[in-house]
Amino acid sequence: MTDKKVRFYCEYCKETLSIPITEELSNEFKEKTDKWPYPLVFPHSDHYAIIYIDENWQERGVVCSRISIKEKKLGIS
């Protein structure tokens, strides 16, 4: 499965990127996904790409964000 990649366009970088589908990632998706398409959060440069992936490893939508909230910032322990 190492030849398989998910390609997506990053609206902040203005470029097409690809994520290799490793055996580890594939197994994690099999164990944890409960719906399709499923969002994958990809940290990239100074932002995050949220890539919606279908069961055939095709990109079905992308949104980007520069904001991430950690539990400690919210006062949650």
Instruction: Please state the domain extents for the chain.
Output: 5-70
Average pLDDT on 26-50 reads 94
State the pLDDT at residue 70.
75
Rounded CA-CA distance 66/47 in Å is 4
| Amino acid at position 37, single letter | P
State the pLDDT at residue 77.
60
Give the model confidence (pLDDT) of 2-13 as tens digits.
589 999 999 999
Q: In the structure encoding, which two tokens stand for residue 68, read together?
A: 């991430």
**Which run of H or E residues covers position 38?**
strand 38-44
pTM: 0.82
Place 33 in a pLDDT band, splitting at 50, 70 and 90: very high
36: left (phi over 0), alpha (psi -120 to 50) or beta: beta
